[in-house]
Structures are given as C-alpha cells and as structure tokens.
Homo-oligomer: A and B are copies of this chain.
Amino acid sequence: MSGDTHSAASSSADQSLADALLHGAEVPRRRALAKAITLLESTRPDHRVRGDALLNTLLPHSGRSFRLGISGVPGVGKSTFIEALGLHLIGLGHRVAVLAVDPSSTVSGGSILGDKTRMEQLSVHPQAYIRPSPSSGTLGGVAEKTRESMLLAEAAGHDIVIVETVGVGQSETAVSAMTDMFVLLQLPNAGDDLQAIKKGVMELADLVVINKADIDEHAATRARAQITSALRLLGMHGHPDHAHHDRQIWHPEVIQLSALKQQGLATFWDCVSRFRALQTANGQLAQRRQQQSLAWMWERIEAGLRARFKAHAAVQAQLPDSIEAVRDGRLAASVAARRLLDLLV
C-alpha cells in the first residue's frame, strides 16, 4: 500500500470515527471516543498527524461543557466523591466525562482511575465516560493528552468534564490551567490546610470542600473556620460585611460534606452553579479559557524548543562537556548557555 493510499484510507476511517463520535448512538459513540483518545495518546508520528487532523475537525464541536478540576491528597475520598457527584449529575440530565492527570502513572502504571472498579456504578453508566490518566512521560506531556481528550469528550456530547488529579508536584497547577473551576478536597485535619497553602494549591482553589465531615463534625467545622480565615488572610476571601465586597467577583468558598453518605452534594452543585453563572455573566469564564489556551500554546512551544535543542547533533556532542565544566566551576553557566545556543546557528 502506498503512502497516499494509506493516508486516504486513514483519512476516510478517521472521518467515520469523527462521525461516530459526534452523532453516533450511545455505544458506538463511546467506542469512537475511546478510539480517538487512543489515537491522540499514540507517540507514532503518523498517528500524531491523524490526531491533529481529528482535533481540527472536532474543535468546533468542543467547548460546550463545564470543566471541573478536582484535587486532593490520597485518602481524601476523591473516587467516592466523583462517583457520587457523577451519578448525581446524571440524575440531573447531564452527560459526564471523568479524565485524570497523574504524572506518576508513567512509573506506577496509573494510580488514578487506573482501576475503574473504584467507581463501580459510574464507570458502567451509559451517560458517563471514564478515562485513566495518560502515561506519556512529563507532566506537560500528560497534561497535553488530557487537554486534548477533554476537547474530544466535549465533542462527544459530555457537558460536564471532571479532571481529577492527585497532589503530586505541579499537577494541580496543570489541572487548574485546563478547567473552569478548581475544587480542592480537604480532610478535616489541622495542618492539612497549611500544606495546601504551602504548595500554593489553596491559591488555585475556587472552592474548598471538607470531605468526610460525618466522621468528626466538630473537626470539620473547625477546619472550615480555619480555612476560611486563611483564605481571608491570603486576600482571597472577601468579608461579607465589607463595604468593598464585590459581588461581581467570585470569592472562594469553603463547604463541608460527606461523599460516602451522599450528604451535601446538592449544596456542592449549587455552589458550582453559582460560580458558573457569575463567571459567565462577568466574562471571566471566557477570558480564563482564552488565557488557558494561549498559555497552553506557549507551554507546548517551549517544551518543543527544549526537545529540539536536546536532539540537535552539535548540542548532543557538546552538552556533556559543558555540563561537566559548569558543574566543576571551570565555565560560567551563562557563558556555557551562550556557547551551546551558538551551536544552533
């Protein structure tokens, strides 16, 4: 088969894939979505070309969802929460997609969502689509695949996309940078909030949820008060009685619930809906998405520039010596950088 014939065949097959994903009945649509995401996750250059073409075809049909980022340390009850929330949303008539960003999955083979049985009912529900984290190397690479999968899930008619992440390195920042609203799940533990502040995650949060509030209600109430006052000190949480409290701007809220007992889900979704309405009205939602897209483009350009630099023959030949000379203090780092850059011509 010649390259052209192959490409034409692929192109026709990909058109059917796009059709099934956009307009198919429930079962073929889910299958098409899974297949399209697998194509995007492939590292084969020809798959990359086909994946880009597919993305371009489907892009006009994407974007019509609400994108909800959810983070929390292991043990906070993310799976239980997302399963309960997903089923609640399906009950309200939504179609839900659950994706994940887990850079550690490269090593572990996927700790988040790898085991779909952790969301027993949601994973088999026809109105839901659950996809484990891609495992393609760097956080940037993993995040890129998840972003692209999100666009496909939207084109396939999922109007709520949940992106889950565990608190590893910068993954929360990556998820916050691809979603409309970032929710931080916390346990009712003292010190937990300080860790979140330390890592800069609290700053990203549009909503802090204290889960497992049923286990120790006093601790949960105390945690809520602590986090609220921390948000206030960080300048993120407006004083309700403050004259300058701007009702056109969202101030992060703190709520408590029990995902296990399915208590507080309606309150949670009410909060999300108020956020969405406000951010739509004040234009922040559209602006945030535009900024996210541009930041994503630059992030990918920089990753590409780094990769090209490291793959350049003259750089590869020189780099080990430069690293050694800089480490040993024989060459100033800035001089080494300029010399390496000069090799690119």
Chain B: CB-nearest residue to A303: B337
Interface status of A233 (Cβ within 8 A of chain B): yes
Q: Is the CB–CB distance between B297 and A337 below 8 Å?
A: yes
Q: Return the CB mask of A314-345 against B: 1 if under 8 Å, else 0.
A: 00000000110011011111111110110010
Assess A294 versus B323: contact at CB under 8 Å? Given A151-B332, A334-B300. Answer: yes
Interface status of A308 (Cβ within 8 A of chain B): yes
C-alpha gap A334/B302 in the complex (Å): 11
C-alpha gap A332/B308 in the complex (Å): 21
Q: How many residues of A contact B (CB 8 A)?
A: 55
The interface residues of chain B lying within 8 Å CB-to-CB of A52 are: 332, 335, 338
Interface status of A191 (Cβ within 8 A of chain B): yes
Interface status of A180 (Cβ within 8 A of chain B): no
The interface residues of chain B lying within 8 Å CB-to-CB of A195 are: 233-234
C-alpha gap A294/B331 in the complex (Å): 11
Q: Give the interface segment out of A127-135, A198-206, A272-280.
A: A198-206
Q: Is the CB–CB distance between B191 and A233 below 8 Å?
A: yes
Interface status of A56 (Cβ within 8 A of chain B): yes
Interface status of A309 (Cβ within 8 A of chain B): yes
C-alpha gap A293/B322 in the complex (Å): 11
- 6 A-B pairs with the lowest CB-CB distances in the bound complex, closest first: A300-B337, A296-B333, A297-B333, A305-B305, A304-B341, A293-B333
What are 12 A-B interface contacts by the 8 Å CB criterion? A52-B332, A56-B331, A194-B230, A198-B234, A293-B329, A294-B323, A296-B333, A297-B322, A297-B323, A297-B326, A297-B336, A300-B333
Q: Residues of A with Cβ closer than 8 Å to B?
A: 48, 52, 55-56, 59-60, 62-63, 144, 147-148, 151, 191, 194-195, 197-198, 200, 202-203, 230, 233-234, 289-290, 293-294, 296-298, 300-302, 304-306, 308-309, 322-323, 326-327, 329-338, 340-341, 344
Given A147-B334, A194-B233; 12 other pairs, CB 8 A cutoff: A52-B335, A55-B334, A59-B330, A148-B332, A148-B334, A191-B233, A194-B234, A296-B333, A296-B334, A296-B337, A301-B309, A308-B341
